[in-house]
Every structure is written in structure tokens, then in C-alpha cells.
Structure 1
């Protein structure tokens, strides 16, 4: 487990595009949009001061990622958001997602200002919701038709972890 940096941009781009293609309903970004982004946009994402992207490796191969984004405005600096969680399908059910989420939560706990961590999960994604609940996240709302892919709408479940 490590925080990814600009040297990891290529493998990060690879897993990110795979995630967007494999589970479009789980991300507000789309594969069609991000596949056009140059590599340096992924490098920049990994270098933002208030973004912490964690990667889990199995036999030196990136197996999963999650990003913790700190809010930067004075009125919301007590908040952080977990986004872009993805584990390759052949690596699921191995504890990697829990390790990634734990790393992000621990980072949030290290930052004295952070009091709450938020995330959004597709309402029908029971395995992810079960993981988040087991880590202490609670649902505080439903974003009805939060995403639209072609002619299909997906509800998003809004969750928070109070530290």
C-alpha cells in the first residue's frame, strides 16, 4: 500500500480507464471523456496537494485504488471525500478494498481539521455498501437518479463517517 505519485501516472491511468469502462454506473466521469486526457492530467491529479490517492499492490502490480480529497474552502475544511474507489475484479474479495479504505480513513484521521469523511456509492452496489457500513459509514441520503448513462438512471447513496 502506498500513496501514488506522478511516477505512477501510467499505471493509475490504466486502472482508472478500466474502472470507468467496467463499471460506468459507479463513477460520475466517463471512459469516453477520460480516455482522451493526456498522461500529464493523470500526473497532475496525483500531485494535487489536497488529493491522496492510495494504491494497493499485489506482486508489484497495482490491484486497486482510492482517492481521499480534502475540502479546501474555509467553511468545509472539516470534510474530506473518498472517491474513485476501484479494485480489479480478479482481486476482489481479498481484503484489498478494506485496506484501501482503511488507508484513506487513517489519513483523514491524521489531519486534525478533518471531522467527517463522505462518499457516494451506487445504491445497487451492495458489496461496496456493506464494506462502507462495516467501516462505520452511515447513509444520510439518496440522490435519486444521480447518474444517467444513456437511457438508464442510477440512484446514489450518500454516506458519511464521523471521525
Structure 2
């Protein structure tokens, strides 16, 4: 398995796994398949090419993208010490093999090389027990719970807010 930051040549494959994630786990993302199905790979080519405050990592097995995670640095002056993990997804048939831990570890290592970032935040649907265990095993701690954070097909989902303090 190879973990690396995605570049413009990965845009098509990223778009494909992103749409798969939204279809496979609609309750786990604020965005929906319907909202993103008409996106083009060009959006991600531009994002992966530009010097940015967003970093997307991919896990590859046999040159196939099997997992992704994105880190977004906060931009507001008073929040510049923070970053957020978003859009984490592992293909269902690849879950439970350490790919998620490798991706989160890569993000944490990246953050340690970004001057000024002191803490990383994420949210996770409370029913996603494997993801909650993964994040806890990486040092993230729950600091709050948001009831009815997401609503999909007339069902509400609660989310836990987690943080990892680096110092």
C-alpha cells in the first residue's frame, strides 16, 4: 500500500471515489451524491495543482485508489492554529486493513510540518463505530455531540466532534 498526497493526475480517480463515497455512505457526509454528481475532474485538478490550504491524501493498492482523506487549514486569523479532517472514505471491501489509520497518520505527519497548526478537528456520525474507534486510536478525543446534525431520507444522524491536540 502506498499513501501519498494527490496531484492533478489523480483527479479523475478521486472524483470517482468521491461519488462512490456519497452513494455508499450518504449518512456520513454533509454533501450528497445529487449535489456533486455533475462535478468534473477539472475541479479537483485545480485543487490538487494550486498551492492551497487543502491537502488530499490517497491510499493506493496495485495503483488503484482505495481510500482518501482531506485536510483543510483554517484561514481566519484567530483560527489559524487549527485544521480539519474531512471527506474520509475507504472502499468497503478494503476496510479493517489499516488503510484508515495509515491515512490519518499521514495527515497528522503533514500537519506537524505545517507551521502554526496546533490541533486537528473532525466530526463523525455517532453510529459509525469503526471510524470512532479509528480516530480514538489516533489520539482524537470527543469534546461534543451534535444531535440531529445531518438529515437524510427523513432520518436524523447525530455527530461527535473530536479534536487532537498536537502540543
What TM-score, normalized by structure 1, do the two folds share? 0.97
Q: Give 1:48-87 correspondences, 5 Å limit.
A: 48=50, 49-87=52-90
Rounded Cα–Cα distance in structure 1 between residues aligned with 2:6 and 2:124: 23
Tell me if the contact between 2:15 and 2:40 (Cα under 8 Å) persists in the aligned partners. Answer: no
Rounded Cα–Cα distance in structure 2 between residues aligned with 1:89 and 1:45: 26
Please give the secondary structure, in 2, of the residue aligned with 1:29. coil
Partner of 2:5: 3
Aligned residues between the structures? 163
Rounded Cα–Cα distance in structure 2 between residues aligned with 1:125 and 1:35: 24
After TM superposition, give the deviation of residue 111 of structure 1 in Å. Answer: 1.3
Give deviations 1:7-35, integer Å, cap 9, x for gaps. 11100000000000000011000001101
Of the candidates 119, 141, 161, which is equivalent to residue 138 of structure 1?
A: 141
Give deviations 1:48-105, integer Å, cap 9, x for gaps. 5111100010011111000011111111100000000000011111110000000001
Q: CA RMSD in A?
A: 0.9
Gaps of 5+ in 2: none
After TM superposition, give the deviation of residue 6 of structure 1 in Å. Answer: 1.4
Please give the secondary structure, in 1, of the residue aligned with 2:15. helix
Q: Give 1:142-161 correspondences, 5 Å limit.
A: 142-161=145-164
After TM superposition, give the deviation of residue 162 of structure 1 in Å. Answer: 0.2
Rounded Cα–Cα distance in structure 2 between residues aligned with 1:88 and 1:44: 24
Of the candidates 93, 99, 110, which is equivalent to residue 96 of structure 1?
A: 99
Partner of 1:23: 25
What TM-score, normalized by structure 2, do the two folds share? 0.95
Gaps of 5+ in 1: none
Rounded Cα–Cα distance in structure 1 between residues aligned with 2:147 and 2:109: 30
The reply to whether residue 114 of structure 1 matches residue 117 of structure 2 is: yes
